[in-house]
């Protein structure tokens, strides 16, 4: 029969407790990436060409006459893209042509017809996307629409401005 002494029992209890009371430490790093400003360029105008009085003409975003913007920014950066779109094109003597049915296509280094479709909206975010994974990539955004002559407009050139705004989201 083994006899336990209070000193032996105290020694066993103190050894077991000391091991579980030791502090544990771990570390992590705090990191950040400062993004260079995105470079947004209007590269090609949306060109409806000749419109016959009293008719409509549609230029899809995939057409060679669609408008084209480019974005160059930080690799893999997430951006919101928004538009200010004209409801009309202004012409001679106060005549206007209605513009509607906006279409869009976007993609990294994408040629027309090779990107993903989206619908440009007037005001607010039309598109949230990630820019290219390789430095120097060019992100293309194409826009198309339909122009309508109600009939009786003055002959001549008609114009309207399309604005695209790109904002980093920080995501």
In this structure, are residues 144 and 63 in contact, taking their beta carbons and an 8 Å threshold?
Answer: yes
- Domain assignment present for 158: yes
- Domain assignment present for 102: yes
What residues have CB less than 8 Å from 136, skipping those under 6 apart?
72
Give me the percent of the chain exceeding a pLDDT of 90.
72
- What span, in angstroms and rounded, lies between the C-alpha atoms of 142 and 104? 5
What is the model's pLDDT at position 135? 74
How many angstroms separate the Cα of 141 from the Cα of each of 16, 72, 82, 96? Answer: 67, 11, 11, 26
Q: Which residue has 């974005």 as its token pair?
A: 71
Domain total in the chain = 1
In this prediction, residues 26-50 reach a mean pLDDT of 94
pTM for this one? 0.81
**pLDDT tens digits along 92-137:** 999 999 999 999 999 988 889 999 999 999 988 889 999 987 777 8
* CATH number of the domain where residue 84 is located: 2.60.40
- Domain assignment present for 159: yes
**Residues written for the chain:** 171
Q: pLDDT category, 15, cuts 50, 70, 90?
A: low
């Amino acid at each position: 029969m083994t006899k336990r002494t209070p000193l032996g029992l105290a020694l066993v209890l103190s050894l077991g407790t000391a091991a579980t009371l030791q502090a544990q430490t771990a570390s992590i790093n705090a990191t950040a990436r400062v993004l260079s400003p995105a470079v947004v360029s209007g590269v090609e105008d949306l060109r409806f060409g000749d419109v016959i009085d009293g008719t409509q003409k549609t230029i899809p975003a995939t057409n060679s006459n669609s408008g084209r913007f480019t974005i160059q920014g930080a690799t893999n950066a997430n951006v919101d893209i928004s538009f200010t779109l004209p409801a009309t094109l202004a012409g001679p003597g106060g005549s206007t042509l209605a513009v509607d049915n906006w279409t869009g296509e976007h993609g990294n280094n994408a040629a027309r017809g090779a990107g993903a479709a989206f619908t440009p909206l007037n005001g607010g975010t039309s598109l949230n996307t990630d820019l290219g994974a390789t430095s120097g990539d060019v992100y293309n955004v194409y826009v198309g629409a339909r122009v309508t002559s109600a009939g009786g407009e003055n002959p001549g050139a008609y114009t309207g401005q399309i604005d695209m705004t790109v904002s980093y989201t920080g995501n």
